[in-house]
Structure 1
Amino acid sequence: MSNFLYGIDFGTTNSALSIYDEDKKEILTTITVPSILYFQEEQSSSAPLNYVVGDEAIAAYLEDGMKGRFMKSIKRILPRSSFIETRVHNKRLNASDLVTYILRELKQRADAFIGQDCRKAVIGRPVFFDDDNTDKDALAQRRLSKAAEQSGFEEVRFQFEPIGAAFAYEKTISKRERVLVADLGGGTTDFTYLILDPEKVGSKDRRNDIIATGGIYIGGDSFDSAFMWDKGTPHFGKDTQYEAGPGKMLTVPVSLFANICSWEQMNFFNGQKIKNDIDNYYYYSKQNRKFKNLLTLINNNLGYSVFQSIERTKVELSKSDQSEFKYAKMDIEIDDKISLENYNQIIEKDLNKISSYLDEFLQNAHIKPDEIDSLFLTGGTSLVSAIQSLFQARFPDTPVHSGDNFISVAKGLAYSGYLFEQEN
């Protein structure tokens, strides 16, 4: 029987698993799935939950008329102490349970590929799950560890995701380099400064080569949330007035719209009290047409399809100076022209936070820009035009490299088998 190791990048938007053959010392293949769960509307109360993962989840969700329970960006709830559990068809599921469904799917696909049960994995994690909060970070780590155990893994090590990306890049260089790695994903932006050397590939101890690590809880989801707030919520009745009493007009609570801008909130934004409140605001707003769109959005689980349109706009603006934010479903009609300049203004606050954190990271680690031999950018958010401009302006004379933005981390994690040989 051959010896295998899985490198697993459980991501906010997408997850990937690289299969590493420890005998041949090579990666055989990498499996990717969107980090999405869908629980069908029709369930048996006495049987385990029926669910699908990834692209199949999207297809089943659409086929079922966008009913059932659809969940995205599950990684973002890992550090949330306020999230205890959610109920799906009267079954209680905690954060580890939800992650388990995705890890188990990846494992089953990989096991089918190699024809055996692999129980050894290096799993990636952000430098900070929730900024610099050690309690939340420890909670997220425990939940992820539990999910790995429930998925069938017995030998598990954890590696910072940007370090994984760095080891993937190390396979492509011909000489020693001091590299700043920026891993910009859906949930976090992580930095690592380290020394890479092709002669050290596969070395058992790389601790002395890792000079500094850091991260901030901002990523592509933050950009999408900012866009939804600025361009989306006006179409769903933000600033709607309702009659709170005879002759007394108030504005509907802003929290309703903050919730539809955040996927980890929208995943669980289906309680009966919330629905009753929205119905009442609609009635007392004299059936405001735009506020009705909020009712349609919530009652028909349209959140994912709206955010798909936002994602398309973001992707188009990474290649062009103009795009359109278009959405048409169940009487909701959105057709707004969006310029790259306008988009950059919308995400400016988050861009400034990333830029400020980068300054802080370099200063605290005593890293001078001219000491950096190269930059390695990875993660889907690294493709955003404003992100590219940020790094080009900050390091005008430093070569910028990128690998496969969606599987680099998983590959590098698979190259991190040395972690099993280090003393605990």
Structure 2
Amino acid sequence: MPGPQTSPVSIGIDFGTTNTVVALADAEGRVEAVRFRHRDAQHAVYLSALAFWQEGRGLSARTRMAGGPFAVEAFLEGHPGLRFIQSFKSFAASGAFRETRIFRDRFAFEDLLAAFLRTLVQDAGGLDLAGSRVVVGRPVRFVGRTPDDALAMRRYAGALARLGVRDALYAYEPVGAAFFYARRLEAEATVLIADFGGGTSDFSVMRFARGADGRLGATPLGHSGLGIAGDTFDARIVDHLVAPHLGKGGSYRSMGDKILPLPAHYFASLSRWHQLALMKWSGDLKELQDLAGVALDPAPLERFITLIEHDLGFALYQAVSATKVALSGAPSAELSFRGAGTDVEVTGTLTRATFDALIAPDIARIAAAVDQALAAAGLAPGAIDQVFLTGGTSFVPAIRALFVDRFGAGRVATSDQFESIAHGLALIGRQPDAGRWAAEAA
């Protein structure tokens, strides 16, 4: 393990499927999130996205790149041939993903992550990654059918090495949240930390105690995780409210004069707005146009086609996400989406009861993952003194109810910010025994 912290600043990086947060901790233990300026506003959250486009033609063409909100801006500006990449963390542990071609260059996962971190550093006004202790969060379980954790860690290390960082620490994301939360503790406690991100939900059971010197000590007792989180819940809303407006469930007349259902795979991209852009340049759009010509009711498919042609996926994604957020504080919410300059309109009412029913299978799998963390720790729910929930999805009432029912309302606390993991990771880097908090690296 790397030795004690000697650099003036510790940097915590919470690289997420959907968003990334970075925090800095100084020698006095002060910690704050890095802010990014975009359109005269300061943001602590940086979208985990990249955009590549070319300026000029032929051999003289130069590839340009942007990250975070600037990548979305470039996408919406409609640069010809632009490649937009989001949620690429999902491929970190996939041996099937080897590389992607972007214009004349080949990008392995390490190249994508290094490019993303470079844009983040630049947009943050410059961060000295090479001269600082860097602590990077990692999920307890990477997404994918057969995720290779060791491969993911080698890829993380390779990306950071491209930026001059060769001795980074890697900590489970809920452990970062645990360190942030543990500063509130006034006595010894066994704590369950539940971290709900965009792509994964992770759980850690930690035992906290202070030594004779007053320094906080922690013993990890058990971990678990799964690839279900906020993005999955968004997809449930899309499938229930949006997809039927755009043709899902409709039929078409085949060349043999048979009535067949419209292929469902076209609608799978609706919950991943950046995938809609890929449909614009692939053969999918042409196939949809052909299907609209033989559909029994072509109007919904024509709306779907317009959505793709006018790059309205991001605006639709924002409307769906807003509906989910509204349901956290109300018994029902309205989805209202209108594509600027088009006749595309998607509206509908979603009750919390219906939403709870849609995500019930996901809640059951999350509950099973919590049980796995407790089993790994060898503890019953009654042995947990406190529960700390973090991440935007932790505000979903069905999620909170899961933990209240199991552990009691008095033991459940929820963070009101997205910065707790990054803060905790940065603070871990200030500890003389930082290696004790680290997950096994490559």
| Runs of 5+ consecutive residues of structure 2 not aligned to the other structure | 1-5, 36-43
Please state how far the C-alpha of 1:331 moved relative to its aligned partner.
1.8
Q: 1:345 aligns with which of 357, 377, 384?
A: 357
Residues 13 and 153 of structure 1: CA distance in aligned 2, closer, same or farther (over 3 Å): same
Is the counterpart of residue 38 in structure 1 residue 62 in structure 2? Answer: no
Moved more, 375-384 or 297-306: 297-306
Answering whether residue 153 of structure 2 is matched by residue 153 of structure 1, we say: no
> SS of the residue aligned with 1:260?
helix
Which residue of 216, 219, 236 corresponds with 2:229?
219
CA drift at 1:129: 0.3
- Residue of structure 2 in register with 1:162 after alignment: 174
Q: What is aligned with 1:108?
A: 122
Give matches, 1:67-78, under 5 Å: 68-78=82-92
What secondary structure does 1:245 align onto? coil
Q: Cα offset for 1:401?
A: 1.8
Seen in structure 2, the aligned counterparts of structure 1 residues 197 and 44 have a Cα distance that, compared at 3 Å, is farther
Question: Which stretch shows the higher mean deviation, 82-91 or 362-371?
Answer: 82-91
Conserved in 1, the CA contact under 8 Å of 2:12 and 2:136?
A: yes
Distance change in 2, residues 1:233/1:152 (3 Å): farther
- Superposition pairs of residues 12-31 of structure 1, within 5 angstroms: 12-21=17-26, 23-31=27-35
Calculate the aligned-residue CA RMSD, in Å.
3.1
Q: 1:321 aligns to what? A: 331
Are the counterparts in 2 of residues 104 and 152 from structure 1 also a CA contact under 8 Å? no
Q: Which residue of 2 aligns with 1:137?
A: 149
Shift of 1:341: 1.2
Q: In the alignment, which of 101, 120, 128 is matched to residue 141 of structure 2?
A: 128
Q: Which shows bigger deviation, 397-406 or 367-376?
A: 397-406
Equivalent residues, number: 419
Identical pairs, percent:
32
Pick aligned residue for 2:66 from 52, 64, 81: 52
**Pairing 1:234-253 to 2, within 5 Å after superposition:** 234-253=244-263
| Whole-Å separation in 1 of the counterparts to 2:15 and 2:80 | 25
For residues 241 and 105 of structure 1, the distance between their equivalents in structure 2, rounded to whole angstroms, comes to 45
Equivalent residue, structure 2, for 1:392: 404
Distance 1:306 1:272, change over 3 A: same
CA distance in 1, matches of 2:9, 2:245: 51
Question: Does residue 1:194 correspond to 2:206, yes or no?
Answer: yes
- 2:3 maps to which residue? none
* Residue of structure 2 equivalent to 1:99: 113
Tell me what 1:7 maps to.
12
Q: 1:388 to 1:201 in 2, by over 3 A?
A: farther
Q: Deviations over 1:47-101 (max 9, x none)?
A: 5532222233334434449984433322223233443333444543333333223
> Aligned equivalents of 1:362 and 1:401: distance in 2?
18
Match of 1:83 in 2: 97
TM superposition shift of 1:140: 2.6
2:379 is aligned with 1:375: no
CA change 1:67–1:89 in 2 (3 A) is: closer
Q: Which runs of 5+ in 1 are unaligned?
A: none
Q: Deviations over 1:324-376 (max 9, x none)?
A: 11111122111101111121122122111111222333234321111111011
Q: For residue 15 of structure 1, report the CA deviation from its aligned partner.
A: 0.6
**In the alignment, which residue of structure 2 is the partner of 1:278?**
288
Q: Give the Cα separation in 2 of the matches to 1:81 and 1:271.
A: 26
**Counterpart residue identity of residue 5, structure 1:** S
Verify the 8 A CA contact 1:17 1:106 in the aligned structure 2. Answer: no
Structure 2 Cα separation of the partners of residues 157 and 364 of structure 1:
23
Deviation, 1:170, is 1.2
